[in-house]
Amino acid sequence: MTEKLATLWPEIILFTCACVVMLLGLSERLGVRRLCAPVSAAGLLIAGLFAFYKTPVDPAAMLPNLPVFGKVLAAGIGLLILGLLTGIPDRDYEARVAQGRTRFDPKRTIRSEFYAFFLFSITGLMLCAGATNLIWLFLALELTSLPTYVMVALSTQRDKSLEAAVKYFFLGAMAAAVFLFGFVLLYGATGSVELAQIGATLRHQASVEGGINPIALAGLVLGILGLCFKIAAVPMHFYTPDVYQGAASPVAGMLAFVPKAAGFFALMLLLTAPGWGWMQPGGPGGGHGSLPTPIGEILAIIAVASMTLGNVLAIMQTSVKRLLAYSSIAHSGYMLVALLAGPGRPGTLLPENGYSAILFYLLSYGLTSTAAFAVLALLERKGPDGQVHEADDFADIRGLRKKHPALAWVLALSALGLMGFPPLLGFFAKLPLFASGLAGGHLVLVVILGLNSAVAAFYYLRIVSAALLESPDASGHAEGMVQTPFRGRALAGYVGVLAMVAMVVLPLLSAGSFLHVTPASWASFGGTYKDAAPLAIAPRLPSPAKPMGAAPTGEGPMSEDAPARP
């Protein structure tokens, strides 16, 4: 138990911070209430540092290095999302209190709950990265999702937010029931909830019976289908456009990353048990790195359907938020191609490591999607009804460069990054998806991925054209757009774009420092599974760099308990 607690310091820090925030938000003094955001930021920063420097390699974990990368990723992108959320809770209520139109009542404020729910959700994401058994994984997934239902409902005072929250909640409850039933079947087929023990049992079943127990197979299928809700993939994608449009843009930006990252962490852990943890060259299932045929076929169908449906429907949208929602579905399909490739052969990192490709793509997607939603969150106008409306339609961003040139460039660069336009970070993040898919023998999926990326270029370039090249239309929406006074949102947008550029430029300019690595190798630590001689987590990245795809030489820092490389 003591060893397990040593891995939970980041989560303990965030939980403590959430409790402090709940008390600060109830204070009668405005200055104290405004400390909720800075205290939350400090908690995320400290939790990220603890995750990077103090998280030990768990010998019971099937992906020993996933916790450190996943927790640092959650803390880093969480800081950007926290900047987005400034100004949402109690905006109108605080204005009435400041004007003396009403008296402050702790029962009427939502500031404390809103920031606490956000921290709980990030805590759940960190717990997903460090899960070692099915019970832990289920509770972590629900801790990630349950706060977001409330945050969607509280994000605006319009009925659309309540409608979106209801759709999101009921579909989320159904998805949770589906993957929980799958977990129950896995337990029934293997007699254990520990992921490592499940893998060992399935390994034994495969060696004796030549295949996986049908009950376990059914459990895996249901688990995958339920987790499709978290990553917004077909067939559990229906809620995505309505929820993104109904929620405030900052909360939609959070939904684009946090549940998706949690879902992919869970899928990586769940699929390592029957697949790459036990497959050996020439063994049952078609060789090392191949999933059981039904699982592989289902994932391939989901990947193709998500990519194609997401991109085709995104073309038809006039709402930028709905477009980004369908884009999110397509991006999940892209990453599923790398998920099918698995963590590669023992001792390999890139380009065959599909898990590393997913982790790096999540990092890139988190930066670019947050920056894009930051621009939408920064723009608002008063409608004919006298209410404030945030930017949503293309008419709202058309001709943005003429009035808000900096925001126009942030939005354009974010769209180009999501498209994978070279030499932006999204391009370097998408390359490992192609490489891992080819290394895994999924040529057809890679071709479909390439075609869908070309289709996606159409609607991303529409955003670029509307913001930079076109003039405001006759509706006057763009002319009436003003920038919100919340500096955290602007900071999130600018930092997201600068980080996209820095992660490409700095490795090229550095000479021997810890940044002297290829961008995609920054995620290689998290995607190495236990049988592949995992690298030890060190407070710095390795140097000097090795070429992409080069086999490790056995030199460099390794865990004292790590097995010898084959």
User: So what's the pLDDT on residue 507?
Assistant: 66
The encoded tokens of residue 27 equal: 């204070």
User: So what's the pLDDT on residue 560?
Assistant: 37
CA-to-CA separations, 414 to 241, 372, 421, in angstroms, rounded? 19, 5, 10
Beta-bridged to residue 388, according to DSSP, are: 382
CB 21 within 8 A of CB 119: yes
CA distance 353 to 374: 32
Q: Render pLDDT for 267-325 as a digit per residue (tens, 0 to 9).
A: 999 988 776 543 443 333 333 446 778 888 999 999 999 999 999 999 999 999 999 99
Q: Looking at this protein, which amino acid is placed at residue 539? A: P
The answer to whether the peptide bond before residue 235 is cis (omega within 30 degrees of 0) is yes
Bridge pairing between strands 379-382 and 388-390: antiparallel
Q: How confident is the model at residue 559 (pLDDT cuts 50, 70, 90)?
A: very low
Q: Render pLDDT for 246-264 as a digit per residue (tens, 0 to 9).
A: 999 999 999 999 999 999 9
User: So what's the pLDDT on residue 345?
Assistant: 55
The mean pLDDT of the chain is 82
User: So what's the pLDDT on residue 352?
Assistant: 59
For residue 490, pLDDT over 70 is answered with yes
Contacts of 485 (CB under 8 A, 6+ apart): 87
User: So what's the pLDDT on residue 477?
Assistant: 64
SS3 390: strand
User: So what's the pLDDT on residue 232?
Assistant: 93
Please calculate the CA angle 488-494-497 and round it to the nearest 5 degrees: 140
CA distance 207 to 225: 27
Phi and psi torsions of 187, nearest 5°: -65, -45
For residue 521, pLDDT over 50 is answered with no
Q: How confident is the model at residue 98 (pLDDT cuts 50, 70, 90)?
A: confident
Q: Render pLDDT for 101-138 as a digit per residue (tens, 0 to 9).
A: 888 877 888 888 999 999 999 999 999 998 888 999 99
CB 492 within 8 A of CB 371: yes
Q: Is the pTM of this model over 0.85?
A: yes
Q: Looking at this protein, which amino acid is placed at residue 143? A: L
The encoded tokens of residue 447 equal: 């071709």
